[in-house]
Copies of this chain bind each other. A is one copy, B any other.
């Protein structure tokens, strides 16, 4: 039995705000993580985290501490045998649930803990997480999904059918991604905090490196957005993809009006055009801007929001996040929902370590759930990978298949020590 003996929490913050990296219409932060370590008897450590934006990271740390008693003393074997019971001990605790339910701080903390459990499971199995998941039987995968509140869109039987179908052609798809990797796009060229010259230079460099899909931030002054979009389009030519991200800054009608202007540069998608909770608003915008796709999900609180976005035909691209929701188990539900509705998944990445996590989810999705690369891309941001023991590897704008056991979530001990808040040397 592999029993979890202790849960350790670290408040890790990187001073990114000063550089304008990661600046968009509503966020300007010091990228940070509520970093969780699960200790067992033995050398393996389960690592997980939720990404936050600087101040307030101590709140998600407090939430992890509140959840820890549900984890300490449990064994991996017990969790694997009754995964939904374990998941609900975190998400449906009769006292803590009131703080969400299944949203915000308490749910992000749940994600950090659940991800650490999966990292430990994968390390104990000696497999990268994508492979652990992809080699589970259909029954085991279905048993890891909490279908509560989504059965009107996806039943366990429907999920099983998707996963069974995903076994066909598995070996071919695996051989393909092993040699070619997974498509990605870059968000490093067009943060709102960057001046025009920097946008132009970064775009030119990214194109030269092989990127053919790039995302810019919009939602500041509309004329500024148009000017910057033209700069990027001029650099990348008519065939490369240009995505736009408004980070929820617009009202519904404002989003529709802004896109009437921005359509001149042929955007591929408009991401987070309005408030993340506004399912009906996204649906109206999607009807208005088609064939431009509406994309959202990095701030979608849980599977119930994703279910509705799909039911309402509100999105053409579904962006899962690895640690905004309740970890791997809830992401499984989301991938299955996307497959059921035929919407491609393009995971959200960037931040701290999000690229490291979502690559596993994207490879698993391709291997067993979505089974197509059509319209699939993983976001890539070239930030902070140096702090991870098993960082992402890319080649020519594609993610390479992870090979190390685990969920690639482990931070270097030296980075945790240096950037711990407030006691680390960087912050003292």
- Do residues A279 and B280 form an inter-chain contact, with CB atoms below 8 A? yes
Q: Report Cα–Cα, A251/B308, bound state, in Å.
A: 14
Taking the complex as formed, is A97 at the interface, i.e. its CB lies under 8 A from any CB of chain B?
A: yes
Which B-chain residue is minimally distant from A298 (CB atoms)?
B98
Which B-chain residue is minimally distant from A250 (CB atoms)?
B149
Q: B53, B252, B299, B304: which contacts A277 (Cβ < 8 A)?
A: B304
Taking the complex as formed, is A319 at the interface, i.e. its CB lies under 8 A from any CB of chain B?
A: no
- Do residues A302 and B280 form an inter-chain contact, with CB atoms below 8 A? no
- If A276-B101, A277-B103, A308-B278 touch, whether A95 touches B152 (CB-CB below 8 Å) is no
Q: For residues 80 through 111 of chain A, which have their beta carbon under 8 Å from a beta carbon of chain B?
A: 92-108
Q: Which residues of B have CB within 8 Å of A92?
A: 26
Q: Which residues of B have CB within 8 Å of A135?
A: none
Taking the complex as formed, is A161 at the interface, i.e. its CB lies under 8 A from any CB of chain B?
A: no
- Do residues B52 and A56 form an inter-chain contact, with CB atoms below 8 A? no
Copies per complex of this chain: 2
Would you give the 0/1 interface string for A139-153, flagging 1 where the beta carbon is closer than 8 Å to chain B?
Answer: 000000000111110
- If A29-B98, A152-B284 touch, whether A58 touches B62 (CB-CB below 8 Å) is yes
- Do residues A53 and B302 form an inter-chain contact, with CB atoms below 8 A? no
- Do residues B105 and A106 form an inter-chain contact, with CB atoms below 8 A? yes
Q: B17, B104, B275: which contacts A99 (Cβ < 8 A)?
A: B104
Q: B27, B63, B94, B253: which contacts A29 (Cβ < 8 A)?
A: B94
Q: B100, B105, B151, B274: which contacts A251 (Cβ < 8 A)?
A: B151
Taking the complex as formed, is A28 at the interface, i.e. its CB lies under 8 A from any CB of chain B?
A: yes
Q: For residues 127 through 182 of chain A, which have their beta carbon under 8 Å from a beta carbon of chain B?
A: 148-152
Q: Which residues of B have CB within 8 Å of A186?
A: none
- Do residues A66 and B62 form an inter-chain contact, with CB atoms below 8 A? no
Q: Report Cα–Cα, A53/B94, bound state, in Å.
A: 8
- Do residues A108 and B99 form an inter-chain contact, with CB atoms below 8 A? yes
Q: For residues 366 through 408 of chain A, which have their beta carbon under 8 Å from a beta carbon of chain B?
A: none
Q: Report Cα–Cα, A44/B30, bound state, in Å.
A: 37
Q: Report Cα–Cα, A253/B155, bound state, in Å.
A: 12
Q: Report Cα–Cα, A21/B92, bound state, in Å.
A: 19
Taking the complex as formed, is A426 at the interface, i.e. its CB lies under 8 A from any CB of chain B?
A: no
Q: Which residues of B have CB within 8 Å of A56?
A: 63, 66, 95-96, 98-99, 106
Taking the complex as formed, is A240 at the interface, i.e. its CB lies under 8 A from any CB of chain B?
A: no
A residues lining the B interface (CB < 8 Å): 17, 26-30, 52-56, 58-60, 62-63, 66, 92-108, 148-152, 248, 251-254, 274-281, 284, 299, 301-302, 304-305, 307-308, 311-312
